[in-house]
Amino acid sequence: MTETTTARRVAIVTGGSRGIGREVALRLAAEGQAVVIAYAGNQADADATVAQITAEGGSALAVRADVADEKAVLALFDAAEQEFGGVDVVVNSAGLMILNTVADFDLDALDRMHRTNIRGTFVVNQQAARRVREGGAVINVSSSQTRIATPTYAAYAASKGAVEAISLILARELRGRDITVNAVAPGPVATDLFLNGKDEATIERFAKMNPLERLGSPEDVAAVVSFLAGPGRWINGQTIFANGGVA
């Protein structure tokens, strides 16, 4: 039987310097995993996250990597293997969110967002498929907007629909490898990515969408990711909607 403990496992967390990714990195490190934090440009936040993990007795490394750049992602996985001996868990939390109506959406912005959200997910998952060890887990971050379908979210939701498709098909392609692949689809979460540009009335409206009548926290989502990264071995090829009960 495959051991399911997270002790001495090694995790790569993209987008790990801020928001949901940061909380995932902190959670996995607290559970005993060595964590490689991939960041796009915010080295100060990435270094601060590493410093917090090491101050609390954990092991962590920050690596700059554009998730859509296959050479950078290759180097990211190389760094994890060289520093910690292998890769067991990959959490792809890196993403962009740009909002506008379909009629008014800037196509250059569309390409930029989809480069990170779709190509980036594909590139990270490609390396994960090649290099995650037996008993490992791949968790991609989607969005409940694939169901909620709020106006102005079409381009973003489309990119996250692709994330879910990649996750399901990769789970099936890894048959016989004892590696699970799932997506986690948060609802509105109180991160800079979500809060930026929204007034108080809009934030309150989103908070009331679920029966718990609050925004999610990064810790709420990190708890779900932690389960999938460790004991949740019988969940595979699924999208878990972590949104407090939004329909």
List the helix and strand counts (H, then E) for the chain: 10, 7
- The interaxial angle of helices 107-114 and 154-173, nearest 10 deg, is 30
Cβ atoms of residues 63 and 36 within 8 Å: yes
Would you give the distance in Å from CA 239 to the centre of its chain?
12
Distance CA 227, CA 188 (A): 20
Quote the tokens at residue 18.
Answer: 């801020």
- CA separation for the pair 221, 185 (Å, rounded): 9
156 flagged as catalytic: yes
The residue from 39, 84, 153, 156 that is catalytic is 156
Active site positions, annotated: 156
